[in-house]
Structure 1
Amino acid sequence: MARKVTTRRKLVMTAIAWVLGMMIFFPILWTFLTSFKTEADAIASPPQFLFFHWTLENYHEVQSRSDYFKHFSNSVIISFGSTLIGLIIAIPSAWAMAFAPTKKTKDILMWMLSTKMMPPVGALIPIYLLFQSTGLLDSRIGLVMVLTLINLPIIVWMLYTYFKEIPGEILEAARMDGASLMKEIAYVLTPMAVPGIASTLLLNIILAWNEAFWTLNLTASKAAPLTTFIASYSSPEGLFYAKLSAASTMAIAPILILGWFSQKQLVRGLTFGAVK
């Protein structure tokens, strides 16, 4: 028998959810508001929330000083490219681990996950020297390769979890009907796991878009994405909070819009297979 949820409990949980949501959203809101302030208003004490002189000067200066659209296109190519290549590699890998497991499958999965536990700086010097010697330093191809390898364990793990929820009998029926391995993956498995694949795609685009460590250390100007664009407003002369906030707002706006329009698909995919 299901436990009855009282109106009071609903109100309390709703209030808690709103408070937590506002706490998470407030830094983004503050950054957005600061981007419309003058530098004097940005460092004013006490802080000014709404009643200040609104200006677009910071956005004009940011665009005139830095080529925003060049950094934006680099971010799009790097994040989408690394995620798509990761999916192409991970879908067959996750299929093999979910439907043709061996005694070493769990060990391989744990080994893949363990690679995410190593501090990135531990691999920076060899990767930097390798990129320098092969001409991949400050290139989109190099960053796509690095971010693909970095996020590949997460992609495989997520897809493996989704694929495990699909009945193996369906794939066996496809084999009995004469489907080859590639047709089984492309025309039977993949369409059934679309919610899970979509959520994996969206989550890894966000991770690649927000990646700062590798982009700051492996790029200079040609392949610099929006994370480098933001970091350029931290100078030895000090932090210019209004301009930094404008650059941050311009950098996070595209991914926020993407997340907003795809939130239903993301939630559906993250809960895929959770309820039988």
Structure 2
Amino acid sequence: MSTTTLDPERQRTTTVRASVEKPRRKGVFSGGALTTLTWVLALIFFAPVAWMVMTSFKQENVAASNPPAFFFEPTLDQYKAVISSDAGPYFLNSLIATGVSTLLVILLAIPASYALSIRPVKRTNDVLFFFISTKMLPVVAVIMPIYVISGQLRALDSIWTLVILYTAMNLPIAVWMMRSFFQEVPGEVLEAASMDGAGLIKTLRSVLIPMVTPGIAATALICVIFSWNEFFFALNLTAAKAATVPVFLMSQMTSEGLFLAQLSAASVLASLPVVLAGWLAQKQLVRGLSMGAVK
């Protein structure tokens, strides 16, 4: 009785083919289940925003009803009340503080991030740690010296005080973000620009900045969000002249009571500028936030 022995190479091929053809085990979540779970979580997080928008179209008695009213006659009275109030100066102050501080942050962060990424020095890591360490200090711990210094300089209730503070607040984050974007620029591009006789300013203006424009847009949008929503400095360092939108929203809570519908309408109007800015820059934002993610 003879025994047939398989060729070793053929046996190895058969084993590999069997392992490949073996059905893969599905993970805990399949594609459809993971998509459904993502949508459920997104709707849960979006529910308060949707409720705020819906409340802004109610009358005050309907907004304060218990149980809540889901079916009602929509009205624009709350938006008319907010627009006809003295909300204009608050929005103008927020626009100035946010726009000017974001512009200053970008102008300062571009050369700083270039120096820390393209031409690093011996103490680059120490400089980066110093930048980010300024974000570890609670804002409430520095409000007293800032208030005293601003008072001595007669800079209280000044929009330019907020511009300086917002610039200092957002600059560390901007430097860290833009440094990762500059590190994605191939070294060969800089070498080619140097061989063509381009100096530092021309290299920045004509080569680097066009390549990292999505990153600059993403950084600017994050600075806009942080500055527009900032409340603590605006509350403690401003009064009547330089108060911003978050202070205006707090002023809707009076001793006469909490007007939910009007507060919701004011909150929707206060959120629109940032939402529109994010919607207009969404392509640049997605590209910018993904530039430094994968090497």
Does TM, scored on the shorter chain, surpass 0.5? Answer: yes
Quote the offset at 1:122 in angstroms. 0.7
- The secondary structure found in structure 1 opposite 2:291 is coil
- The secondary structure found in structure 2 opposite 1:271 is helix
- The secondary structure found in structure 2 opposite 1:48 is coil
Matched, 1:255 2:280: no
The aligned counterpart of 1:56 is 76
Q: Deviations over 1:239-262 (max 9, x none)?
A: 221111111111111211221222
Alignment counterpart, residue 39 of structure 1, candidates 54, 60, 63: 60
Alignment counterpart, residue 17 of structure 1, candidates 19, 27, 38: 38
The aligned counterpart of 2:139 is 120
C-alpha distance in structure 2 between counterparts of 1:119 and 1:83, whole Å: 22
Q: Deviations over 1:67-92 (max 9, x none)?
A: 22322222121111111101111100
Distance change >3 Å, CA 210–CA 178, structure 1 → 2: same
CA RMSD after TM alignment: 2.0
C-alpha distance in structure 2 between counterparts of 1:4 and 1:79, whole Å: 52
Q: Which amino acid letter does the alignment assign opposite residue 27 of structure 1?
A: P
Aligned residue-pair number: 272
Matched, 1:217 2:236: yes
Quote the offset at 1:273 in angstroms. 4.0
The aligned counterpart of 2:207 is 188
Q: Which amino acid letter does the alignment assign opposite residue 65 of structure 2?
A: A
Matched, 1:231 2:268: no
Quote the offset at 1:55 in angstroms. 2.4
C-alpha distance in structure 2 between counterparts of 1:216 and 1:228, whole Å: 6
Q: Is 153-162 or 15-24 further displaced after alignment? A: 15-24
The aligned counterpart of 1:150 is 169
Quote the offset at 1:275 in angstroms. 4.3
Quote the offset at 1:62 in angstroms. 2.3
Q: Deviations over 1:95-137 (max 9, x none)?
A: 0000111221112111211111111011101111222222322
Max radius of gyration: which structure? 2
C-alpha distance in structure 2 between counterparts of 1:4 and 1:76, whole Å: 54
Unaligned runs of 5+ in 1: none
C-alpha distance in structure 1 between counterparts of 2:230 and 2:86, whole Å: 20
Q: Which amino acid letter does the alignment assign opposite residue 266 of structure 2?
A: A
Q: Is 95-104 or 40-49 further displaced after alignment? A: 40-49
C-alpha distance in structure 1 between counterparts of 2:223 and 2:292, whole Å: 20
Quote the offset at 1:4 in angstroms. 10
Matched, 1:207 2:190: no
Q: Which amino acid letter does the alignment assign opposite residue 74 of structure 1?
A: N
Q: Which amino acid letter does the alignment assign opposite residue 57 of structure 1?
A: D
Q: Which amino acid letter does the alignment assign opposite residue 192 of structure 2?
A: A
C-alpha distance in structure 1 between counterparts of 2:26 and 2:214, whole Å: 30
- Superposition map of 1:38-117 within 5 A: 38-49=59-70, 51-64=71-84, 66-117=85-136
- The secondary structure found in structure 1 opposite 2:67 is coil
Quote the offset at 1:12 in angstroms. 1.1
Identity %: 48
Unaligned runs of 5+ in 2: 1-19
After the TM superposition, list the runs of 4 or more consecutive aligned residues in structure 1 that deviate by more than 4 angstroms: 3-6
